Structure 1
Amino acid sequence: MSSTTAGTTRRDTLLVDGPARRRPAETKAAFKTTELIAYVAAVAGVLIASFVVDGNGNGDNGAAGDYFRADRAWFYVVLLTIGYMVSRGLAKAGSRDSADA
């Protein structure tokens, strides 16, 4: 049986008033970060640019027009994804969870 009074919780010999609270980790959840917003915007920009730019030779004086093939666009999306995953990994590498101690 615990020797604490009602309304307090015993945590490592420290009495805390009210219900026990969990300490949050240092970093936010991935969906709450601006990294995710920037990543989604960059991916959308790459895919829209790939869709809009054509290779029909619409340049002046018969010069070849711009082209941005789908395979190159998806390569850039993969690079963006790798960059996003590395940035989240670095963000989480510095955080500690209370369960780690």
Structure 2
Amino acid sequence: MTAASSPGYSESGPIRDTHTAPRISSETKPSFRTSEFFAYVASVVAVLIASWAVGNGANGVDRFPADRAWLYVTLLTIGYVISRGLAKSGSREDTDTMRR
């Protein structure tokens, strides 16, 4: 004896869609389209301009030397890389769809 099937169900269970469309959008934006990128670039430019503009004081001592400016740029870069890593860590996008 066979049981009658309900609409939407085959005799072996619910009908399953085996084809799923690939996800086109990602959870995070490309880095150059984020506000943190523009803040990073503005900060780097500001540090370098400040180091150049301050220059030597009246007594000939450089109050903001280039080595300190580049240290600040390095620290800004580390912060930016960490923030992008945190933003991307929650992304579940497949690497195959990122190549498209």
TM over 0.5, shorter chain:
yes
Say yes or no: does 1:93 pair with 2:89.
yes
Structure 2 portions without partners, runs of 5+: 1-16
Structure 1 portions without partners, runs of 5+: 1-10, 15-19, 59-63
Say yes or no: does 1:12 pair with 2:8.
no
Tell me whether 22-31 or 34-43 shows the greater mean CA deviation: 22-31
TM-score (norm 1): 0.68
Give the alignment partner of residue 69 of structure 1, picking from 47, 65, 68: 65
Bigger radius of gyration, 1 or 2? Answer: 2
Identity %: 56
Considering Cα pairs closer than 8 Å and 6+ residues apart, tell me whether 1 or 2 has the greater RCO: 2
Superposed, 1:15-94 pairs within 5 Å as 22-57=23-58, 67-94=63-90
TM-score (norm 2): 0.68
Provide the aligned length of Structure 1 versus Structure 2: 80
Q: 1:66, CA displacement in angstroms?
A: 6.6
Residue 5 of structure 1 is matched in structure 2 by none
